[in-house]
Amino acid sequence: MIHLNKTRRVGRRDLAQVVEIDARITGLRKPGYWAGILRRYGGNSPGRFFLVCVEKRQVQGYVVGEVRDWEFGSPPSGWVFGIGVRPESRLRGTGTRLLEEICAAFRRRRVAKVRTLLARDNALVLAFFRSQGMTAAPFIALERDL
Amino acid sequence: MKLQKNTQLALCGVLEFASEPERQFSTAEIAAKYGASPHHLAKVLGKLRRAGLVSAARGAGGGYRFCGNAKRVTLLEVIALFETIGAKAPRAPRRDLERAVDQVLAEIDQTARATFGSITLETMLKLALRSARRSS
C-alpha cells in the first residue's frame, strides 16, 4: 500500500480537527476531554503517545495510547484507548498506519503486547482491530451497577 | 462452543471460495476436502447462493464462486443463515436459579455474537494464513 500521508505526534494546532473527527464518529463534541488528553499524552511524555496521520495539512486520523502497567500479575503492555479516522478517508490504510506507528513506539518501550477494550456492539472498530491481527485477550471485562 | 455441521461446512466452503474469488469450485472438490456428501453440500451452497454470497454456473466446468465482499461479510452473517446463536429458551424460566443460569448463558451468547460479528471473511483468511505459517 502506498502511503502519501505522514504520521507524527499531535500538535496543539491539530486538536480542533481531532475533536471534529471524534464528533463525526461518535456524535459527541468533547473539546475539554481532548484538551486534557493533549495535556497528558501530547508532547514527549515517556510511554504516552498521541499520534495523528496528516495528508495535505489535514488530519486524517488519530490514535492515543500508552504503556500501561497491569495488575493481577501481567507484565506492562501497550494500551490503545482511542483511534479514529475521517469517514471519507477510510479504507486507505490510515488506521492501519496509525496502529503500526503506535505499536512500533510500544516496541521501542520494550513491551510485547498491545491491548484495547471496546464495546461489544462497536462492530466497526472491533472489525478493524481484528483485521490487524488482534484476538481475544485472556481477560474478561466486568462491571456492576453502583 | 460448537457450531452445527452445516454451519461449519458453510463457513469452510465460503472461506474456500473467498480465498480465490476468480476461481470456480466444483461441489465434488469441496465435498471431498471436508468429508461431506456432495448432496449435503449442495443444500448448504444453495443457501449461500440465495444469500448472495456465491454464484453458481451450470454445465461442464460449472461450479460455484464467491460473489460477496470479503472485507464486509462477517462470520456471523454466514452463521445466521444456518443457526441462531443464543436462541431463546422455549419457555420463560420460572425459578430464580433458572433465571440466574439464563443470565450467564446470555452473557456467553452476547460475547459469541460480538466475536463472530467482528471477524470478516478477509480477516479470517489472514488468520488462517498466519496459522499456516506458524505450523510450517
What CATH number does the domain containing A14 carry?
3.40.630.30
The answer as to whether A61 is a domain residue is yes
pLDDT tens digits along A92-136: 899 999 999 999 999 999 999 999 999 999 999 999 999 999 999
Model confidence pLDDT, tens digit, residues A23-47: 999 999 999 999 999 999 998 888 9
Is the per-residue pLDDT at B89 higher than 70? Answer: no
Residues A71-91: tens digit of each pLDDT: 777 899 999 999 999 999 888
The predicted pLDDT at position A3 comes to 52
Instruction: Please judge whether A120 and B119 are an interchain contact, meaning their C-beta atoms are less than 8 angstroms apart.
Output: no
Which residues of chain B have a CB within 8 Å of the CB of A130? 118-120, 123
The residues spanned by each domain of chain B are 5-135
Q: Is A144 inside a domain boundary?
A: no
What is the model's pLDDT at position A133?
Answer: 94
Chain centre to alpha carbon of residue B55:
16
Contacts for B41-50 with beta carbons within 8 Å, 24 or more apart? B41/B9, B41/B13, B43/B6, B44/B6, B44/B9, B44/B10, B44/B13, B44/B82, B45/B13, B47/B10, B47/B81, B47/B82, B48/B10, B48/B13, B48/B14, B48/B78, B48/B81
- What percent of chain A clears pLDDT 90, i.e. is strictly above it? 82
Q: What pLDDT does residue A87 have? A: 93
- Bigger pLDDT: B72 vs A70: B72
Residues of A in Cβ contact (< 8 Å) with B86? none
Query: What is residue B58's three-state secondary structure?
Result: coil
Shortest Cα distance from B109 to chain A (angstroms)? 12
Task: List CB contacts of A125: < 8 A, sequence separation 6 or more.
Answer: A83, A118
- Which range, A127-131, B37-41, B93-97, is most confident? A127-131
Q: Is residue A139 part of a domain?
A: no
The answer to whether residues A76 and A70 touch, using CB atoms and an 8 Å cutoff, is: yes
- Closest-CA residue of B relative to A124 is B118
Confidence band (pLDDT; 50, 70, 90) for A5? Answer: confident
Element (DSSP H or E) covering residue A26:
helix A15-26
**Amino acid residing at B74:** T
Q: How many domains does chain A have?
A: 1
Burial class (CB in 10 A: 0-12, 13-18, 19+), B94: exposed
Chosen from A117, A130, A135, A142 to mutate, greatest number of chain B CBs within 10 A: A130
Question: Contacts of residue A129 in chain B, CB cutoff 8 Å?
Answer: 118
Task: Report the first-to-last Cα separation within chain B, whole angstroms.
Answer: 27
**pLDDT, greater one: B98 or B58:** B98
**H-state helical runs in B20-120:** 27-34, 38-50, 75-79, 96-118
- What is the C-alpha to C-alpha distance for residues A50 and A44, in angstroms, rounded to an integer? 9
A130/B122 touch (CB, cutoff 8 Å), yes or no: no
Angle, vertex CA B86, rays to CA A118 and CA B43, nearest 5: 110
Instruction: State residue A138's pLDDT score.
Output: 87
Going by C-alpha positions, the residue among A130, A128, A125 that lies closest to residue B127 is A130
Shortest Cα distance from A99 to chain B (angstroms)? 16
User: Which residues from A are below 8 Å from B117, CB to CB?
Assistant: 123, 126
Gyration radius (Cα) of chain A, Å: 15
Rg of chain B on CA atoms, in Å: 18
Q: Which residue has the higher pLDDT, A102 or B99?
A: A102
Tell me the pLDDT band of B60, cut-offs 50, 70 and 90: low
Closest residue in chain B to residue A126, using alpha carbons only:
B118
Residue-number span of the structural domain to which A15 is assigned: 6-131
Q: Cβ–Cβ of A123/B123 closer than 8 Å?
A: no
Determine which helix (DSSP H) or strand (DSSP E) holds A101, and give its type and residue range.
helix A94-108
Confidence category of residue A66, pLDDT binned at 50, 70, 90? very high
C-beta of residue A61 within 8 angstroms of C-beta of residue A21: yes
Kindly report the backbone phi and psi dihedral angles of residue A58, in degrees, each rounded to the nearest multiple of 5, phi listed first: -105, 135
Q: Are strands A114-116 and A77-85 parallel, antiparallel or unpaired?
A: parallel
Closest Cβ opposite residue B120 in set A127, A133, A136: A127
Fold of B5-135: Arc Repressor Mutant, subunit A (1.10.10)
CB contact under 8 A, A127 and B114: no
Note the pLDDT of residue B88. 66
The reported pLDDT for the residue numbered B94 is 79
What's the pTM?
A: 0.86
Tell me, what's the pLDDT at B85?
85
Of A91, A126, A133, the CB nearest to B118: A126
Between A and B, how many CB-CB pairs are < 8 A?
30
Q: Which residue shows C-alpha cell 465434488?
A: B28
* Residue A1, domain member (yes or no): no
Tell me which of B61 and A127 has the higher pLDDT: A127
- Asked if ipTM goes beyond 0.95, one says no
Distance (Å, whole) CA B130 – CA B89: 38
- Identity (one letter) of the amino acid at A139? F
Average pLDDT over residues B80-102: 82
